[in-house]
Amino acid sequence: MSELTPGGNLPLPNGTLTIRVPGPFDLSALITDDTGKVRGDADFVFYNQPTAPGARLTGETLAVDPPRLRPGATRLTLAISPADPDTPLGHLPAPTLLVTAPAGRTVARFTPPRPQRETVLLLAELYRRGGGWKLRALGQGYADGLAGIARDFGVEVLEEEAPTPAPRQGHGEPPDRQGHGEPPDRTPPARTARTAPPAPATNGFLGLVNSTRTAAGSPPVSLNARLSAAAQAHAAAMAAQRRLASEGGDGVSVYRRVTTGGYAYLTIGEHLVSGPRTPAEFVDYCLSDRQARQTLCEPTYSETGLGHATDPRSGTVFWTALWAHPFSPDGLRRTATEVITLTNAERAAAGLPPLAPDPLLTDAAQAHSADMVARAFYAHTSPDGSEPWHRAAAAGSTRRSIGENIACGQRSAAEVVRGWMNSPGHRANILKPGFTHIGIGFAGGGAAGTYWTQLFGG
Q: Name the burial class of residue 442, with classes exposed (0-12), middle (13-18) and buried (19+) by CB atoms within 10 angstroms of its CB.
A: buried
- Per-residue pLDDT at 202: 61
Q: Say yes or no to pLDDT of 167 above 80.
A: no
Q: What is the mean pLDDT of residues 216-238?
A: 94
Contact 326, 243 (CB under 8 A): no
DSSP class of residue 406 equals E
Contact 208, 291 (CB under 8 A): no
Q: What is the mean pLDDT of residues 167-192?
A: 32
Q: Say yes or no to pLDDT of 44 above 60.
A: yes
Q: What is the mean pLDDT of residues 44-68?
A: 88
- Per-residue pLDDT at 155: 59
The one-letter code for the residue type at 435 is F
pTM above 0.95, yes or no: no
Q: How far apart are CA 106 and CA 19, in angstroms?
A: 10
Q: What is the mean pLDDT of residues 297-316?
A: 93
**Tell me: the pLDDT tens digits for 244-285?**
888 887 788 999 999 989 999 999 999 999 989 899 999 998
Q: Say yes or no to pLDDT of 194 above 60.
A: no
Residue 196 CA from chain centroid, whole number: 31
The one-letter code for the residue type at 105 is R
Q: Say yes or no to pLDDT of 159 above 70.
A: no
148 or 95: which leads in pLDDT: 95
Contact 166, 316 (CB under 8 A): yes
**Tell me: the pLDDT tens digits for 140-151?**
777 656 666 666
Strands 132-142 and 9-11: antiparallel
Q: Say yes or no to pLDDT of 179 above 60.
A: no
Q: How far apart are CA 451 and CA 259, in angstroms?
A: 13
Q: Say yes or no to pLDDT of 175 above 50.
A: no
Alpha-carbon Rg for the chain in angstroms: 23
Residue 267 CA from chain centroid, whole number: 15
Q: Is the dihedral of CA 248, 254, 258, 264 positive or negative?
A: negative
Contact 205, 282 (CB under 8 A): yes
User: Considering the chain, what is the average pLDDT of its residues?
Assistant: 84
Which residues have a Cβ under 8 Å from the Cβ of 65 and sit 6 or more positions away? 15, 16, 17, 54, 55
Q: Is the dihedral of CA 3, 7, 10, 16 positive or negative?
A: positive
Contact 343, 421 (CB under 8 A): no
**Tell me: the pLDDT tens digits for 309-358?**
999 888 899 999 999 999 999 999 999 999 999 999 999 999 999 999 99
- Per-residue pLDDT at 144: 58
Q: Say yes or no to pLDDT of 111 above 90.
A: no
Q: Name the burial class of residue 42, with classes exposed (0-12), middle (13-18) and buried (19+) by CB atoms within 10 angstroms of its CB.
A: middle
- Per-residue pLDDT at 323: 97
Strands 2-4 and 106-110: parallel
**Tell me: the pLDDT tens digits for 364-401?**
999 999 999 999 899 999 998 999 999 999 999 999 99
